[in-house]
Amino acid sequence: MQSKISEQYFLLAESTGNRSAIMRGIRRRAYLTACILFDMQLGQLVKFSNNCIEVIAPLPREYAFLNPVVDSIDDRISKTAKNSLRHLILNRQINRAVYDGVGKRLLAKNQVTKTTSRGLLFSHDKYDPTPEAQQRVIQHIRETFLNQQQPSAEIVALVSSLSRTRILKDYFDKSELAAIKERLAVLRADAGYNDFFKFAKWIDEFITTIIVAASSHG
């Protein structure tokens, strides 16, 4: 397994400052978890079928921080698949475990800097992306997603997730955003990406439903 989708998403979704942009935004937080699921799918650790997510291989040792994710997916005796996904998306302990796990991987690669925010009761680590790391991701999107005839499922998953969270507008101009939108529409009709977009559509619709419900009660 690799975690390129979630790591690159993290670098553009997170921002410098006193608070984590990912952890304070339901949609950004939800899509970091979604990116982890995309990484796990491409790594053949989970599969999607009949509107269910199934764990089909053990986590590599270096991804032990994802054990809460696997446990939630596996807990289908007492939960439906949708309830498992709801737990993944809304449970802040799982969200924090994913955030810290991805952040530590990026820290080891010198792509983020670490700060600690201390409150009265709790302290949390925050990982600020370096400008150089962010620029590499932006350039990677320009070179591979916009210019390659058949971009990898990995880069398609990344751009799709960034598009759904409206993060791309922070890094690309209007003409580039229009080109990205058009490219995504073309790729959705490409049979080679059917499995990914079917999985992504199911997750995306579910995340949207959760956010709308949360907003109506807020």
User: What backbone torsions phi and psi does residue 187 show, to the nearest 5 degrees?
Assistant: -70, -30
pTM: 0.91
Looking at the structure of the chain, the number of domains it has is 1
Range of the domain at 59: 4-129+194-217
Identify whether 161 is part of a domain: no
Q: Tell me if 92 sits within 8 A of 100, measured CB to CB.
A: no
Identify whether 59 is part of a domain: yes
Which secondary-structure segment (H or E) carries 176?
helix 174-188
Identify whether 49 is part of a domain: yes
Identify whether 172 is part of a domain: no
Residue type, 202: W
Which residue matches tokens 């009709």? 189
Q: What is the pLDDT of residue 95?
A: 92
Q: Tell me if 175 sits within 8 A of 189, measured CB to CB.
A: no
Identify whether 185 is part of a domain: no
- In angstroms, the Cα distances linking 215 to 59, 67, 68, 208 are 34, 29, 26, 10
Mean pLDDT on 89-106: 93
State the chain's mean pLDDT as an integer.
88
Identify whether 101 is part of a domain: yes
Identify whether 83 is part of a domain: yes
Tokens representing 28 are 């950004």
Q: Answer whether residue 76 shows pLDDT above 70.
A: no
Q: Answer whether residue 141 shows pLDDT above 70.
A: yes
Q: Answer whether residue 135 shows pLDDT above 60.
A: yes
Identify whether 174 is part of a domain: no
Q: Tell me if 130 sits within 8 A of 144, measured CB to CB.
A: no
Q: Answer whether residue 218 shows pLDDT above 60.
A: no
